[in-house]
Structures are given as structure tokens and as C-alpha cells.
Structure 1
Amino acid sequence: MARRSVQFWRIEQLQGEQLTRPFPARRVAEVLKAAQDVRTDRHFACADGTVLLAQAATLSPHPVLLLDRVRHTNLPSVGDALGRRKALPLAPGDHLLETTYFAFLKRNVMAVLASGNGPRASRLGEYLGGMLGLELGLVPVVREDVEEILNRLEVSRFEFALPAERLSGKLMEGEWADVLDSASRLMTEGTFRISLSVGRSGKAEDKQRIRERIQQLIDLFRRAGSVEHFDYVVAEGKDSLTGEREVVDLLKERFVSHIEVDADVFNDPAKSVAEAVSILNKQARDNEAFFARTLPEIKGAPDNSAVPDVVAAGAAAVRDAAAVEVREQADTDTPDVADSQGGAGHELVRR
């Protein structure tokens, strides 16, 4: 058996605006399926060089997508019964695929079945933005009163710890990725722990600046899709409403289900997708009452017109091509300066 986590995220924004209608998930799945059927190239290269590939697994009862991280370098080795190492038996043109599964539920909730190697939830936003021009704003679904407490918290300390063997910049983004990458080069055993605090000395304005910076780093940390890989994550501060000291366990505040799965099934491409869909559908049923109690109901119909068909190289390439066409048209339409001056420019050249 192996352990997997099911994370729950909510699509809060689309194209930078608050999303008040259902996200057009079924339409997204349909266009990906259509592109897959006609063999349209659906690979997308992120800004950091990560290559992603998505496909639709099912449309009912919930649309489910697979998002693969495509690896063709730094591949692991295979060992035989005696421990002798050899390369992975990949045919020419084959790649290693590391998969995360996404189910789109009611109330714009997204259930994410993840492992340690598959893409983080935020990568789906990058992929849909690059391929379809859909800019998503994702927030984690949290336990009932934690968000309220964190909003009131005048933070004074933030601390986390994880085993050294798990240290990797891939767990986080931005500044945290740099910290974890550096730490992974410092130690390979034991526990890595980091603590940020405001401190007791200094001026009030200096302490407030430090407090705001720590809060920014906490927000970045919370939006990562890998918090469950840590052993210990806490934020501490004073509740601005009650004046009491509060310690918030960020491992417990995020709504994450941990499940045991059959490792052999997930290693079998013919069975893994059906098993993942089954798990996500069960999670949707089991947690519907919690979502209904804690999240707003989303009414109306999705705006399917916002989702274009998939084209090779993605929406970014389409936008770039359109921009080039506009510039070329502008160059064609711009009159020659000399012509606009009644030919005086040409007369000067002839003289």
C-alpha cells in the first residue's frame, strides 16, 4: 500500500475577476478530449522549463483531468535483483510522466489527488493559462474558522520543519524554493527546521515591517500544494480581536484527506486512471456536506464561450502571432513620412 493525499482548492478568480458563476470545467474537459482525439500537440512549457501535458479522463459525474509533468532528462535508474543499475527501458521518443489528478466539483471546488512527484495544483493554472488563456486564481479550502483567525492574527513567529530527505525546492515556489534547494545541499539526514520571528528589540515601525514580511511569506507558503510533506508548520501571534496569543497549526488548517492506495494499481497505466476517478468521486460524496456548510453556493451557468479550442503551442503562441500580425498591419498602414510631406523627402534625396 502507498499513501496519497487529496487536497481541496477553490477556483476563486477567472481572468483576474471574482468568479461568481460555475467554472466551465466540462467545456475544458471537452476541448482537451477533442484535441486529444485529433492528436493536437498539448504540451506546454512553463517559464521555469517544466513541461506539462493534460488530458481529460471523464466528464461524469465530475469532469476529471490528468496533468502530467513530462520528464526527458534527469531520469531515475532501474536496478536488477543484484542491485546493478541500468537505464529506464524507454523507447525512442518516450518520456517519463508524473501525474496529478484533478476533479471539478460543485461550488468551484477542485479535488486534487497528488503524490510527491506529480505537478502541484498551481501548475494546472499555468497550463490552462498557457494553453487556453484561462487565468485561474486558486485558494485552499480550509477548516471552518481558521481563515478568520489568520486574518485577525498579528503574527510574531512562523516556524516549520521537515525531514532532510524530503528537502527540495520543488515543494514550494519563489523565495521558499530557493531556501529549500539551498538546505538540500547542506544536509541529507536529520530534520531541517526554520523559524522566523519579529524579535523583542527594535522600533515599533521596524517590528511592523518585519511582521508584514512574515505574513507575506506565510501566505506564499499556504498557497503551495505541498504543505502535507512537512512535519511541523505553525504561525503564532496575538489575536487582534481578543488580545490572546494564538498558535495556528497550518498542517491541520488545510482541508486535506490522506488515503491509502494500492501502489500496484497506481503503477499500472491501464488501471490507475479508473482508480483515481473512483477515489475522487468518493471524496466528493464524503465531503459534500462540509462544502455545503462552509462554502457559498455558486448559481448560474458556466461561461463556456470563455474556453477556446486547443491549438498546438497554446494560447500564448496565438497571442504572440496576433501581436505580430497587428504590428505588421500597423507598419503597412503607416504612411511614409516623406509622402505625408508632399514628396519633399524624395526631393532632398535626389539633390
Structure 2
Amino acid sequence: MARRSVQFWRVEQLNGDVLSRPFPARRVAEVLSHARDAGTDRHFTSADGTTLLAQAASLSPHPVLLLDRVRDTNLPSVGDALGRRKALPLAPGDHLLETTYFAFLKRNVIAVLTSGNGPRASRMGEYLGGMLGLEIGLVPVVREDIEDILARLEVSRFEFALPAERLSGKLMEGEWADVLDSASRLMTEGTFRISLSVGRSGKAEDKQRIRERIQQLIHLFRRAGSVEHFDYVVAEGKDSLTGDREVVDLLKERFISHIEVDPDVFNDPRRSTEEAIAILNKQAKDNEAFFARTLPDTKGSPDSGSVPDLVAGGMAAVRAALAAEAKADVKEARSPGDGIEAAGVGGAAGGKRGGAGHELVRG
């Protein structure tokens, strides 16, 4: 048996606004299904060069999406019984797909079934933003009292450790990605451990500045989607309310379920999807009472109209087309003799045509 984890995240913002109504996940799933049936290219390349591809796997009882990391370089090899290496038997145009499964539940909770190589949860936000213009803010669902504890903690130490073979900048983002990438070049065996502390010497204002910086780094660390790959993650400090010393285990503060899966099942694309859907639906049912007790309810109906139809190239292609139209309108409005008034008319026409193009995209 192999071990996998189900992480729970919550959509708290949509395009920068606080999201109090249900996220339109069913509409997103339908859009992806229609795009697949129509043969529309659904690949999205993120800023760091990672190629992602999403598809809908189920609509009921919860919309379930698959997000693949698409690989066509640095591919692993196949070995026979004697260890002789040969290339993966991929047909021309085939790619290696590493999958993470997302189920969109009540209260804007997303259950994420992970594997060691699939995209992090934050990649779904990148994909929805790049392809559909849906900029979402994801926060981890945590155990009931951890936020209160961390808010009161005057941190003095933050420490984590993980096996050297797992060292990779892909586990984290920002400054932490640089640290782990550098560490991966230093060692390939053993355990990598890092500890940040305020220290005993120095002025009070200097120590406070260090505490604030460590708090920022803890915040970045907690928002990463791969914390379960670490062996040890703790924050230590004084509880400002009670004065007690507290050691907070950040591996246990997240609401993460660890499950055993049959690796043979997950090597079969059809069976793996069926098994993933069953796992996620069971997790939704088992933890519904916890979510109802600890998370705010959502009111109203999903804003399905905010989800456009998907076009090849995603929103980048849409924006480029609208920009080209606007540029052409301005050029047309600046014909000889029109002067300033003509430029103003051109601007209005550009707005009208751009709006029409956008409506076509939205379906």
C-alpha cells in the first residue's frame, strides 16, 4: 500500500473580493468538459514554466477536477528486470501527466488528494486565473484553536526538518524555494534541518524586528501546499495572554487526512480517477460536521455568469485580442482632420467593440 494525503483548503476570495457565496465550481467543471469535447487547447504555462492541464472528472455529488503537471522534458527511464534502462514508451505527442485531484465541497472547501509529484493546491489558483480569469485566494483549513494560538505567540524560534532526498524548491514558494533549492545541491542523503531564532543578545527593538520577520516566514511556510512532506515543523514562543511557553506543531495544525491507497490502482488512469472520486466523496461526508462547526456558511447561489467559456490560450489570448482591437480603433480614429474629437470617438468605439468581444468569450 502507498500513503497519500487529503488536504483541505478554502476559497476565501474571488478576483480580490471576499467570497461569501458559493464558488461556481459546477460551472467551471462544465466549461472544462465543453472545451475538451470541442477540442479546445486547455494547456496553461505558468510564470515559472510549469505546464498545467485541467479536466472535469465528476459533477455529482461534488464537482471533481483533475489538474495535471505536463512533462515532456527530464523524463524518467524504464528499467527491465536486470536494470537495463530504456526510454519511456511514449508515442509522438504524448506527455507524462502527474495528477492532483480537487473536489469542491460545501462552504467553499476544496478537498485535495495529493501525490508526491502532482501539482500543489496553489497551482489550481494559477490555472483558473490564467485560463478563466478567476483569481482565487486559497487558505488552509486548520484545526480549531491553532489560529488563536499563533496570533498570541511571541515567536522566538521556528524550525523544520525533512529528508535530503525530498529537498526541492518546488515544495515551497518565494524565499523558501530558494533555500530548499540551494540545500538540494548541498546534500542528497540524511536529514536537512533549519532553525531560525531571535537569539539572546541585542536590543529589544532588534529582537522585535527579528520576531516580525520570522512571523512573516512562518506565514509563507504555512500557506505552502506541501507541508506534509516535512518530518518536523515547530514554532516556539511565549503566549502573550498567559505568559506560558508554547511549542506549536505546525504539521498537526492543518486539517490533513492520511490514507492508504493501492498503488496498482493509481497506475491505471481510469481506475485511479474512480478511486480518487470515491476517496474525496468519503472525506467530504466524514468531515462535514467539522466544517459546519468551524467554518462560516455560504449564502446565495454561485455566480455562474462570472465564469467565461474557455478559449485556447486562456485569458492571455483574450486580453491580447482585445488590446489589438483597441489599438486598431485608436489608429482608425486618428485619421487626418479628426483631431481630438475623433480620438475621443475612437476610444468609445474601442470600448464597445472590446465589450462585445468579451461577451463572446463568456458565452
Same fold, TM-score > 0.5, yes or no = yes
Report how far residue 324 of structure 1 moved.
2.8
Q: Tell me the alpha carbon deviations over residues 283-329 of structure 1, each in whole angstroms, 9 at most, x when there is no partner.
A: 00110111111111111101001100000000122112212322332
Report how far residue 335 of structure 1 moved.
5.9
Superposed, 1:168-207 pairs within 5 Å as: 168-207=168-207
C-alpha distance in 1 between matches for 2:69 and 2:18: 29
Task: Please report the TM-score for the alignment, with normalisation by the length of structure 2.
Answer: 0.91
The equivalent residue for 1:345 is none
Task: Please report the TM-score for the alignment, with normalisation by the length of structure 1.
Answer: 0.95
| Aligned residue type for 1:134 | L
C-alpha distance in 2 between matches for 1:236 and 1:328: 60
Structure 2 residue ranges without an equivalent (≥5): 341-363
Q: Tell me the alpha carbon deviations over residues 209-231 of structure 1, each in whole angstroms, 9 at most, x when there is no partner.
A: 21111111111111111100100
The equivalent residue for 1:291 is 291
**What RMSD in Å do the two structures reach over aligned CA positions?**
1.3
The equivalent residue for 1:82 is 82
| Aligned residue type for 2:254 | R
Q: Using a 3 Å threshold, how does the CA distance of structure 1 residues 337 and 235 change in structure 2: closer, same or farther?
A: farther
The equivalent residue for 1:267 is 267
C-alpha distance in 1 between matches for 2:172 and 2:253: 18
C-alpha distance in 2 between matches for 1:58 and 1:331: 48
The equivalent residue for 1:314 is 314
Report how far residue 331 of structure 1 moved.
3.1
Secondary structure of 1:12 counterpart: strand
The equivalent residue for 1:226 is 226
C-alpha distance in 1 between matches for 2:322 and 2:7: 38
The equivalent residue for 2:121 is 121
C-alpha distance in 2 between matches for 1:312 and 1:207: 52
| Aligned residue type for 2:118 | G
The equivalent residue for 2:278 is 278
| Aligned residue type for 1:223 | R
The equivalent residue for 2:95 is 95
Superposed, 1:1-351 pairs within 5 Å as: 1-334=1-334
Identity %: 82
Secondary structure of 1:263 counterpart: coil
Structure 1 residue ranges without an equivalent (≥5): 341-351
C-alpha distance in 2 between matches for 1:190 and 1:81: 29
C-alpha distance in 1 between matches for 2:173 and 2:335: 49
Q: Using a 3 Å threshold, how does the CA distance of structure 1 residues 336 and 157 change in structure 2: closer, same or farther?
A: farther
C-alpha distance in 2 between matches for 1:99 and 1:333: 50
C-alpha distance in 1 between matches for 2:321 and 2:193: 48
Aligned length: 340
C-alpha distance in 1 between matches for 2:260 and 2:186: 32
